[in-house]
Structure formats: C-alpha cells, structure tokens
Amino acid sequence: WWIVPCPPMAAFVSNLLLLFALFVLLTLGLGSHDTISEVYIFTMMGWPWMVLASMAARLHIERRVGKNPFSSVRDFPLLGLTSAAAYALMLLAAKKISITDCFVLTFFEPVISAVLTSSALGKARRNFHFRYVKVYLVLLVLIGIYNVGELQLSVLVALMPTLEHGLFVLARLLLVARSVYVKRAYCESHAAL
C-alpha cells in the first residue's frame, strides 16, 4: 500500500493492525464455522472494509489543503456514490431501451453540462456556453427528429419517452453534476471563480 501517501510509522502501524485483524478474524472463523468456504466468507465480510477504512484514514492524514481541495471523509465517498448511482441507473435503463436510444440520449449531456456549468461556474463559463447555443439547439432538434422518426403524428403518442429514458438522462445528469462539483472545487481552491 505504498501508493497512498502516509508517514512511514503510521503506515507500519496500520499495516500491522490490518494483519492482526485478519489473523483474529481467521481464528474466530475457524473456531465457529465448519467449512473453509464459510471461514472465508466470515473473514471477507469485514476485513476488506477495514482495509478501505485504513486507506481513507491515510488519505485524511496526508491531506494538504493547498494541493487537494477534497476531503477524503466527505468528498471522495460522495463522488464515488454519485458515480455508482449514475452507472447503476444507466445499466438499469439500458436493459429496457435500445442501444440506439442510449446513444441518442447521451446527446443530452452537452445541454445538461451547459446549463449546470453556466449556473455553477460563473459569468466566464456562461459566456462560453452562450456562444454554442445554436449547437445545443441543433442537438435538441436532432434528438426530437430521432424520436419522431418516420412515423405519423397519430402514432407519436405511443412513442413518448418511458421511465427508462428518464432514468438514463438522470444518470447522465448525475455524472455531469459530479464533474461540475469537481471543477467548482478546483476553481475555488485556486481562486479562479
């Protein structure tokens, strides 16, 4: 675990305690379970979480406010859970809609990004996105044309977006919101806003 920066003595104590915890869990598992697979399951239910907690603690020890604007206790788990929720929603939606629908719905992302970054990152970013309003409108028109397709208006009612389409767009919105949060944190830490 030399990748995570940590003072040498703290890393040594942490590694030693992790090995001791593994030994204790193995001993308790061998004493209370009959098969090796049950011992393995018992041990691996808790020990990997101890390793993850150790990594988070090491990140918190070595946090340098001037260089890293993120807190390992608050920001990193929030970013990870946001990403996990977004990808879970995308996979959940992708089971019910076609791959072409997924491809077309990803074109909502620049529009979502323009709206969120314009509101969160200030006037300079708003002016940047305002220059591309025509591109965003063309994207929205193309998405609309795809949804209408070659059908008549009487059949259009049956092709309204479903819940899965909404979940896919929500997932893309979560990914864009995560990126905007990261950009804003870096801008604030470097006084760029």
Sign of CA dihedral 32, 38, 40, 43: negative
Q: What is the pLDDT at residue 155?
A: 58
**Block residue for tokens 């788990």:** 77
Q: What is the pLDDT at residue 23?
A: 94
Please write the tens of the pLDDT for every residue from 7-54: 677 778 888 888 999 999 999 999 999 999 999 999 999 888 888 888
In degrees, to the nearest 5, what angle opens at C-alpha 178 toward C-alphas 173 and 179? 100
The pair phi, psi for residue 137, each rounded to 5°, is -65, -40
Q: Are 174 and 85 in contact (CB under 8 A)?
A: yes
Q: What is the pLDDT at residue 192?
A: 57
Q: What is the pLDDT at residue 5?
A: 64
What are the residue ranges in the chain where pLDDT is below 50? 1
d(CA 154, CA 145): 16
Q: What is the pLDDT at residue 1?
A: 46
d(CA 58, CA 67): 16
Q: What is the pLDDT at residue 35?
A: 92
d(CA 133, CA 43): 56
pTM score above 0.75? no
